[in-house]
Each structure stands twice: as C-alpha cells, then as structure tokens.
Amino acid sequence: MAVRPIRIIGDPVLHTPTRRVEVFDDALKALVEDMFDTMEAAEGVGLAANQIGVDLRLFVYDCPDEELRARVRGVVVNPVLETSERPETMPDPEDDEEGCLSVPAEHFPTGRAEWARVTGVDVDGAPVQVEGRGFLARCLQYETDHLDGVIYLDRLIGRHQRAARKMLRHNGWGVPGLAWDPATEQAEDV
C-alpha cells in the first residue's frame, strides 16, 4: 500500500461535497489501505478520502473511545451522521481544541456535540454503525464534515475565526494545488 499526499485547505476537493460510493471492489479496498497508511504516517486520528484528493464519501479513523477506554479503528463508507445538540457558546480552548491534517500543525477550539453516531457500510457493503461520546464523537462529526465539504475552520466563531483567517494568510494557504507528503514531511514542517 502507499502513503499519499494530503491536500491543504483551499484545494477545491476539500470544499466540495463528496460522491456516494457505488462500487465495492478491490480498488475501494486498496484506497482504504492507502488511507490508513497515510493517516498513520501523518500521525492522525481520522482521514477523509477527499483529503487525499478522492471525492468519494468514506473515511477511516483510529481514535480513543473514552467510554471503552480503548482505541477504536475502522472505516465508514457513505456515512450518515446523527448528533446531540451542538453548543452555541464559545468553545473551551483547553477542552475543544482541534487540528486537521489539511491544515497541518494548526489548532483552534471548535464546538462539537457531546454525542454522535454514524451509520453507513464497510468496504464490502455490510452495515456498520459507530457511536461515541467525547473525543470519538468529535472525530465522527469532524470526518463527516470533511465529506460534506466542510473543514473545521468553517465552524470557528469569534476571535478563533479571525485568528484562523490570519493564519491562512500568513501560511499562504487557502489556494488550490497545495499538498504535503506525510511519507517525507512532518506536519510541523509544512
């Protein structure tokens, strides 16, 4: 399998809703393996297909489940998200900080629902459901957002939104064609 370059914010594939997966074949399985390899190389906890330039509706994850006190790993194809109510208050900088492999080495507080459930299918088309609270819920919301063309910076409010715009200008991001390769680069060096 292979580690693929990760698109940086501004690439149109990140800002456009993805297409449903209709074909469940060896090519899909190979894509999922590449996504796991890429996520691991980038030291991430989730990766949506469009982050590697593929406009298909699927994501992989490997993140902690606070209730199980274990890491959970998997893939969800054609996910549908349900959540508890999302907070409308300013997120807590200590508890709500998020980062993104498509916005490498940057972090901002982002409000998310405490509970989330994603239903979809696996790479063979069999039903799958993932449900969690806390960090796992955050991960499920985050990756589904990616597939809807929403990056976490789009959810920022107030001073965090202003700081993110300043960061984008400073880094020269927000334009098409930028990517980084986690096989050869660290996010902090992008």
Whether residue 33 lies in the annotated active site: no
Q: What is the mean pLDDT of each run of 10 residues along the chain (190 residues)?
A: 95 98 98 98 97 98 87 97 85 82 95 95 98 94 98 93 96 96 94
pLDDT value at residue 3: 98
Residue 91 is predicted with a pLDDT of 75
Give the whole-angstrom CA distance, residue 154 versus residue 98.
12
Question: Rounded to two decimals, what is the model's pTM?
Answer: 0.94
Region of 102 on the Ramachandran plot (φ > 0 left; ψ -120 to 50 alpha; else beta): alpha
Q: Which of 22, 106, 143, 188 is catalytic?
A: 143
The pLDDT, as a whole number, for residue 28 is 98
Residue 87 is predicted with a pLDDT of 79
Residue (of 48, 33, 27, 42) closest to 1 by Cα position = 33
